[in-house]
Structures are given as C-alpha cells and as structure tokens.
Amino acid sequence: MDFVQQVINGLAQGGIYSLIAIGWTTVFGIVGVMNWTHGEVYMLGAFAGYFLCIMGMPFVPALLLSMLIGSGIAMAIDEFGYKPLRKKGKMAVAGFITALGLSTFLRYGANAVFTPNPRAYPDVIDYQLIPILTVGGKTLTISSIHLTILAGTMLIMVLLELFIRRTITGKAMLAASQDMQTLGLMGANSEVLIKVTFAISGALGAAAGVFVGTIYAINPMMGALAGLKGWAVAILGGIGSITGSLIGGLILGVAENLTAGFISTGYKDAIGFIIMIAVLLIKPTGLLGFKFDEKV
C-alpha cells in the first residue's frame, strides 16, 4: 500500500521531468546541440511564474505568460548563442561549450539579480488530498497540486503531439529531425524551423518550472540538476520520441520517490543517473528511440 502511494506521489514529479526532457529532445533532434541552457530556461520560467503570481495573476494565465517568456528566452539564446556558430559551421564542440558558458552566465546572472534565497509561490492552487481508493482501511490519496500538474502535463503533451502530427510546421520539424539538408532543398526555411523548435523547447521548460514552483521553493541554482535529469530522461525514453520522454519521466519520478521512501533519501538524486547509465550501456537508443546514424 505504501508502495502504491509512493508511486502516485512520484507521478507529478515525473510529469515535470517529461516536460523538461521534451525540451531537450526536440532541440537535440533538430539542431544537434546538447542545449545545456535548458535547465536555466526552466529556472527563469519558474521565476517568471513566481513574479506573475506575486502580482496577483491567476494560475493559468500566469502559466501561459511564463511559457511565452520561456519561448522568448530560448529563442534569444539561439539567436545570440548558437546561430553565429551555426553560420560558421562549427557547431560540434564549440556549440556544447557555448551552451555550458551561457548556462553558467544565466545561472549566476540570475543568482546576482534574484539573490540566492529560496522563494515559495503564493498558494495558487488549493491544497487538498483527494482520496482515490480505500483498501483495507488505508486510503490512497493524491494531492490536488499533483493532480493539476499531471493534468497540465498531459494536456501540453497532447497539444504538442497534435501540433507535430497535424500542422505543416510540425511535420517539417519531424522531417528536419531526420534530414535537415534535404528539407532545406525542399524549400523549407531551416532558420525559422530552428526558432520554432527553440520556442517550443523554451515554453515546455518554463511550464515545467512553473509547475515545480507550486510544489517546491525555487532558487537560481535549481536548473542545474533538474536540467541534467531532463537530459537523462530524454536519453532513457529515447532521443526524438515524445512518448518515450513521457514514459521515461514517469519512470524517473517514480524511481526517485521509491528510492527516497525505501532505500535512502541521500541517493534520491543519484538514481536517475544510475538508470540512465544502465540504459545507455544496454540499449543506447533508449526505450523508444530510433538510431542516430554516425556519418561516415
């Protein structure tokens, strides 16, 4: 019974990881850069949501506006960080180091502006425990905040999936993740596609940040670990697969909660990396990923 309760508690956190992971995987699939700044977009999104909520905005508009801000930040990062390197064709190592540098810059810049003190969101969602099922005198519950987060995550993912499958831009993105050059020959504007990719990635990261803010206190350093866990989830689920990211995120969220509940809280953060390393060694393409061919 405790076990099932821990699993339920892990789902919301898992949903948040999934959102972060999709941001990583879309950018990696299309631009081919390990966008290390994604954790920082997530952090800035959380701060945007915090200030909007403090100003008295209701939760849903604050979430949407934060997502917009997150998109803007991600597009700015691409414009000033990656685009010049892409133009020179020096994306491989230089792109990665640029991402590291930008991420450090944003993290410590935010640290200077917002101060390192943790901040808590005002009560934007009424907290209450909703009973699901009663077995043998014990009741399984889910908190209203977790339920909101899960519902929000699912909604965002369904919308994203529809966008990718049904719209011409979405289809172009899918094609771009397979062969950018050929797509360019077909007359698609690759720069616009890349900007759209970054916008989506930023919006999802910011949404994850706002969601996490409703559960935990936020601070400028929060992006470092969460960002990397997102990448771990993206690998776990398989690069380029949205469903994979969702499953991977839920697995990680649940695994972390179980580790904290039954093994040791000290190893809670390590479990994600252990799972990721194991998956990469056994099945490098992840649970649902397809193979990225090495160019010969």
Partner 1 sequence: MKNDSAASEVLTAGIESVPADVLTNTKKEFALPEGNSKWFFGTSGKTTFIGAAIFLLAICFLDSFTPVKVIPAYVKHILVSCLIYAILALGLNFVSGYIGQTSLGHAAFFGIGAYGTAVLMKYSGMNFWLTIPVAACIAALAALPLAASALRVKGSFLVVITYGFGEVLRYVAINTDSLGGSSGIPGIKVPTIFGIKMSKIGPTGKEGYLILCFLIVALLAFFMNRIEKSRTGYAFAAIREDEIAAVAMGIHTKYYKILAFVISAFICSIAGSIQVAYSSFVSPELLTSTQSILILTMVIVGGRRSIKGAILGAGLMTILPEILHSLKDAIGLSFDPWYILYGLILVIVMRVRPQGFWGNSSDA
Please report, as ranges, the residues that interact with partner 1 according to CB under 8 A: 28, 34, 81, 84-85, 90, 93-94, 96-98, 100-109, 111-112, 115, 224, 228, 231-232, 235, 264, 266-267, 269-270, 273-274, 276-277, 280-281, 284, 296
CB of 264 to partner 1, least distance (A): 6
CB of 117 to partner 1, least distance (A): 12
Is the Cβ of residue 38 or residue 146 nearer to partner 1 in the bound state?
Answer: 38
Is the Cβ of residue 71 or residue 98 nearer to partner 1 in the bound state?
Answer: 98
Long-range CB contacts for residues 93-101, cutoff 8 Å, separation at least 24: 95/33, 95/34, 96/33, 96/34, 96/36, 99/33, 99/34, 99/35, 99/36, 99/37, 100/36
CB of 115 to partner 1, least distance (A): 8
Is the Cβ of residue 152 or residue 289 nearer to partner 1 in the bound state?
Answer: 289
CB of 136 to partner 1, least distance (A): 34
Is the Cβ of residue 51 or residue 108 nearer to partner 1 in the bound state?
Answer: 108
Is the Cβ of residue 77 or residue 124 nearer to partner 1 in the bound state?
Answer: 77
Is the Cβ of residue 29 or residue 152 nearer to partner 1 in the bound state?
Answer: 29
CB of 113 to partner 1, least distance (A): 9
CB of 165 to partner 1, least distance (A): 27
Dump the DSSP string for the chain: -HHHHHHHHHHHHHHHHHHHHHHHHHHHHHH----TTHHHHHHHHHHHHHHHHHTT--HHHHHHHHHHHHHHHHHHHIIIIIHHHHHHT--HHHHHHHHHHHHHHHHHHHHHHH-S--B-----S---EEEEEEETTEEEEEEHHHHHHHHHHHHHHHHHHHHHHHSHHHHHHHHHHH-HHHHHHTT--HHHHHHHHHHHHHHHHHHHHHHHHHHS-B-TTHHHHHHHHHHHHHHHH-TT-HHHHHHHHHHHHHHHHHIIIII-GGGHHHHHHHHHHHHHHH-TTTTT--PPPPP-
Cα(241)–Cα(234) distance, integer angstroms: 8
Is the Cβ of residue 4 or residue 225 nearer to partner 1 in the bound state?
Answer: 225
Is the Cβ of residue 175 or residue 221 nearer to partner 1 in the bound state?
Answer: 221
CB of 239 to partner 1, least distance (A): 9
CB of 198 to partner 1, least distance (A): 17
* Sign of torsion over alpha carbons 128, 141, 12, 167: negative
